[in-house]
Amino acid sequence: MSHQKSKSGLRPGLCTVCHHPALDDINLALMNGMALRPLGAQYGLSPSALSRHTKHIGRALAENRQREQEAQFNAYLDELELLKVRLDRLFRKAEDAHSLHISLGCLQESLKIITLRARLTQTPNGRI
């Protein structure tokens, strides 16, 4: 169903820089025009590997942005979940107190959250 590019788009195994833990810092240094030799020495990479990697920076940045968007999206879903938990708690209290008005309000708000979550997770960007 998902036909987005796989995470292996960077051709694992071929570029040591793309898999380096300090990839973001390295990309930044490269974009700032840092010379390959000292940069390579700093991160234990060969200048030729860095040179090959310069072609991947655009893609790495795009993936980075996508990761950030996904993280933001997941944080948003977490907040909805938290809201739902609080509503459930409030609902139980209202029910115990036989407060029909508040109980109904909780149910309506819960429905909104469920609908919103369903809509969000169905968008093409919503799923990985």
Contact between 20 and Zn ion by CB under 5 A: the answer reads no
* Whole-angstrom distance, CA of residue 78 vs CA of residue 91: 20
Nearer to Zn ion, 47 or 105 (CB): 47
Q: Which residue among 23, 26, 36, 56 contacts Zn ion (CB under 5 A)?
A: 56
Q: Which stretch binds Zn ion (CB under 5 A): 17-25, 29-37, 72-80, 107-115?
A: 17-25
Stretch that binds Zn ion, among 15-23, 26-34, 41-49, 114-122 (CB under 5 A): 15-23
96 within 8 A of 67, measured Cβ to Cβ: no
| Those residues with Cβ within 8 angstroms of residue 95's Cβ, 6 or more apart along the chain or in another chain | 103
